[in-house]
Amino acid sequence: MTLPNDPLLLMSVVNTKLRDAYPSLGALCDDLNVPSAEIEEKLRGVGYVYSAELNQFIRQ
Q: Are 19 and 12 in contact (CB under 8 A)?
A: no
Top pLDDT among 1 and 23 is at: 23
Q: What's the pLDDT at 12?
A: 98
Domain locations in the chain as residue ranges: 7-59
Does residue 1 surpass a pLDDT of 90? Answer: no
Task: Look up the pTM and report it.
Answer: 0.94
What is the residue-wise DSSP string for 8-50? HHHHHHHHHHHHHT-SSHHHHHHHHT--HHHHHHHHHTTTEEE
State the pLDDT at residue 24.
98
Mean pLDDT within 14-27? 98
Residue type, 28: L
Average pLDDT, the chain: 97
The percentage of residues in the chain with a pLDDT greater than 70, rounded to a whole number, is 100
Return d(Cα 27, Cα 46) in angstroms, integer.
23
